[in-house]
Amino acid sequence: MKKKRKKQKKSKNIFIIFILIFAFLLIKEIMKSPFSGNVSTSVNSFNSFANVEKYRSPLNNELAKYGLEEHTSTLIALMQQESRGRGGDPMQASESAGLDPNTITDPTESIKYGVKHFKRINEYGNKKDVDFATILQAYNMGIGYIDYIAKKGGKHSEELAKKFSMIQVEKNPTLYDCGGDKGNFRYPYCYGDYSYSAKVKKNIDELESISAQADGE
């Protein structure tokens, strides 16, 4: 009986030691958090861009062919919105290359055509004197959106993007119907994503914040 009690006491002591170690480690992490909050945010944010960051060099190299290297982070932000860096067509460039969606299966080809598409809308947007938000939106809605905004004052807004979308929907309502899903946030503006430019801009801001934190600013 005495041996049994000693055995139970020993097991209880081991359990208590385990709990104390766990509590110590937990407290240590909590105490660290006030001093590492920015680093933690940076790491978590960077992780969300991890899949696209691996394409930074290929994007930069392709952009360099046109003297557009300064837009590398812009293309990273576009890719993040298009695919999160996943799949064979991470820039979702098949349609801009005149192909059916997701026809491209090689990321290198996707980057090649995605950069070409960006170069085209960037040059045309500058020629038409529209703001950069319009150029970003045109990556999603096509070069016709630049013409539309140029006639509306040259500045993008979600309201104008909705109107442009509806014009395209009315031209082909059976194609642009959000797959018949009226619960889709875009419905009934089912041509493109009227909030695309704002989403890409948010990605750009996050990338700049990550870069600033990495530089110790």
Q: How far is CA 104 from CA 6, 56, 75, in A?
A: 70, 19, 18
pLDDT by residue (tens digit) across 175-196?
999 999 999 999 999 999 999 9
pLDDT of 36 > 80? The answer is no
pTM score of the predicted model: 0.77
| Cβ neighbours around 184 below 10 Å, total | 13
For the cut 70, the answer to whether the pLDDT of residue 169 exceeds it is: yes
Q: Is the pLDDT of residue 153 over 80?
A: yes
- The ranges assigned to domains in the chain are 1-48, 52-214
Q: Give yes or no for residue 198 having a pLDDT over 80.
A: yes
Residue 108 and residue 55: Cα distance in Å, rounded? 9
Phi, psi of 112 (to 5 degrees): -60, -50
Please, are residues 90 and 110 in contact by the beta-carbon 8 Å criterion?
A: yes
147-168 average pLDDT score: 98
Separation between Cα atoms, residue 161 and residue 84, nearest integer Å? 23
Work out the angle between the directed axes of helices 107-127 and 56-64 (0-180°, nearest 10). 50
Crossing angle of helices 72-83 and 56-64, rounded to 10°: 130
Alpha-carbon span 116 to 143, nearest angstrom = 13
Q: Which range, of 30-34, 103-107, 163-167, averages the lowest pLDDT?
A: 30-34
What dotted CATH number matches 52-214? Answer: 1.10.530.10
pLDDT tens figures, 2-25: 454 555 555 666 666 667 666 666
Q: Looking at residues 51-72, what average pLDDT do you find?
A: 96
Angle at which helix 107-127 crosses helix 72-83, to 10 degrees, equals 120
